[in-house]
């Protein structure tokens, strides 16, 4: 399996975040990727993984998902913040634009002239998306990792279609950070700035391909849901903990609207869900929803914060359970792109990610 990875993704390194009213060290740290990379590098000695650097495909694929003003904000937020004397550790909102604020529409029309402090609350929905000096560079590179992996997967499929040696379900891993599934078209949230999975999906749909997004992160992918809520392609499926962050989305009643009705499937699960229960639900959704959709590609929002000891997630999934999850995903029998999302238990994050990929490839 090819693994797309860049050390530029490590440069985003805020010092802190606020969770449950507590100022804590930033959990979505560069250490996450370092540990995963080192573990997969060790496995590569067994011919399991081949590491590839991304290419640069510019902003065009990113702008197919995200608004131009939002991208401009991400590019300039830190510089503008520091320029007016704010904390050099990073940009964090002190006030948020709420739907019940009567002047919300007029504020959005004046985005170029409002204070950098106000912009932080306009383009962010929580206190986990601190923008530091190098954030944009890592955010941009994270998207390039996913774009490069997507295009490589397409290339493999084209080449295999004309080859006698056909692999019916190749897989590629985009090892990137920051993650993406909480970001919508003009809002960062939950450590996420650009929605990497949505960018990949748009590329594939642009080639007239049908896509299934399977989100196995512990937290509901509210950003991905929002971006595609009115669309029948992709089919979006999320297995997630409830009640939990992002708190206001992820209910079973959220099925999509218009053309997209029935193509957004949320499966909220209790924190007590163990390996066997999770696999039972996953196999059911594979047979009932994913296979009948007849997609051309599968994109997996790969979060391992479902692990039993994860500090901000956690079903009762074990490290061995992740291998079984990988085996189940393999049974879908589609070209598959794994895109890194959450997972914050540093002692096991490499093993858990590796086990999903090993389960898929063996």
Active site residues: 182
Alpha helices in 231-307 (DSSP H): 275-285, 291-293
Q: How far apart are CA 9 and CA 192, in angstroms?
A: 13
Q: The dihedral of CA 244, 33, 174, 2: what is its sign?
A: negative
Neighbours of 165 (CB within 10 A): 6
Strand ranges inside the chain, DSSP E: 2-5, 16-19, 22-25, 50-52, 171-175, 211-215, 235-241, 264-269, 297-302, 336-340
CA-closest candidate to residue 304, choices 217, 246, 174, 243: 217
User: Which residues lie across from 131 on neighbouring strands?
Assistant: 91
Gap between the Cα atoms of 21 and 303, Å rounded: 24
Residue with tokens 């359970």: 321
Place of tokens 């209790």: 270
């Amino acid at each position: 399996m090819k693994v797309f990875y860049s050390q530029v993704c490590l440069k985003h390194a805020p010092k802190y975040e606020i969770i449950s009213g507590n100022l804590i060290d930033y959990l979505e740290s560069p250490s996450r990727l370092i540990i995963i990379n080192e573990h997969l590098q060790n496995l590569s000695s067994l011919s399991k993984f081949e590491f590839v650097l991304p290419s640069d495909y510019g902003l065009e694929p990113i702008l197919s998902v995200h608004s131009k003003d939002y991208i401009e904000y991400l590019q300039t937020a830190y510089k503008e913040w520091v320029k007016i004397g704010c904390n050099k550790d990073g940009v964090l909102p002190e006030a948020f634009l709420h739907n019940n604020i009567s002047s919300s529409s007029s504020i959005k029309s004046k985005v170029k002239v409002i204070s950098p402090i106000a912009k932080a609350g306009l383009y962010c929905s929580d206190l986990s998306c601190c923008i530091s000096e190098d954030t944009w560079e890592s955010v941009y590179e994270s998207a390039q990792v996913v774009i490069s992996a997507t295009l490589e997967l397409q290339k493999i499929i084209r080449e295999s279609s004309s080859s006698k040696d056909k692999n019916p379900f190749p897989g590629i891993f985009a090892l990137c950070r920051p993650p993406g599934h909480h970001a919508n078209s003009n809002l960062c949230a939950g450590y996420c700035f650009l929605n990497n999975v949505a960018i990949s999906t748009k590329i594939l749909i642009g080639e007239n391909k049908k896509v299934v997004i399977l989100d196995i992160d512990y937290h509901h992918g509210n950003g991905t849901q929002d971006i595609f809520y009115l669309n029948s392609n992709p089919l979006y499926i999320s297995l997630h903990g409830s009640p939990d962050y992002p708190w206001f989305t992820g209910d079973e009643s959220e099925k999509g609207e218009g053309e997209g009705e029935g193509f957004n499937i949320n499966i909220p699960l209790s924190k007590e869900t163990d390996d066997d229960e999770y696999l039972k639900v996953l196999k059911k959704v594979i047979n009932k929803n994913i296979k009948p959709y007849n997609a051309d590609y599968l994109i997996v929002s790969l979060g391992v914060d479902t692990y039993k000891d994860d500090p901000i997630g956690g079903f009762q999934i074990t490290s061995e359970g992740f291998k079984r999850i990988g085996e189940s995903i393999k049974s879908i029998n589609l070209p598959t792109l794994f895109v890194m999302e959450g997972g914050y238990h540093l002692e096991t994050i490499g093993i858990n990610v590796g086990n999903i990929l090993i389960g898929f490839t063996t």
